[in-house]
Amino acid sequence: MLHSLDIPEWKWNSISMDFITGLPKTRKRKDFIWVIVDRLMKSAHFLAVK
């Protein structure tokens, strides 16, 4: 059964995370991206990681 999610009361109170993999390595040997999304502000941060 479908139901709506609660609306966060403050920014960074509710986030979602994902990884983008299968990328070629950078000069610093980082090969995937960590994606962090703030549900309230709808802003995304992308971090290159090993």
- Please check whether residue 45 lies inside any domain of the structure: yes
Going by C-alpha positions, the residue among 16, 19, 15, 22 that lies closest to residue 33 is 19
**What is residue 28's predicted lDDT score, i.e. its pLDDT?**
95
| 47 in Cβ contact with 34 (< 8 Å) | yes
**34 inside domain:** yes
In tens, the pLDDT along 1-49 reads 788 878 888 888 889 999 999 999 999 999 999 999 998 888 999 999 9
Q: pLDDT value at position 20?
A: 97
Cβ contacts of residue 38 below 8 Å, gap of 6+? 11, 12, 14, 15, 44
Q: Is residue 5 a part of any domain in this protein?
A: no
Best CA proximity match to 23, nearest among 32, 15, 14: 32
Domain that holds residue 45: 15-49
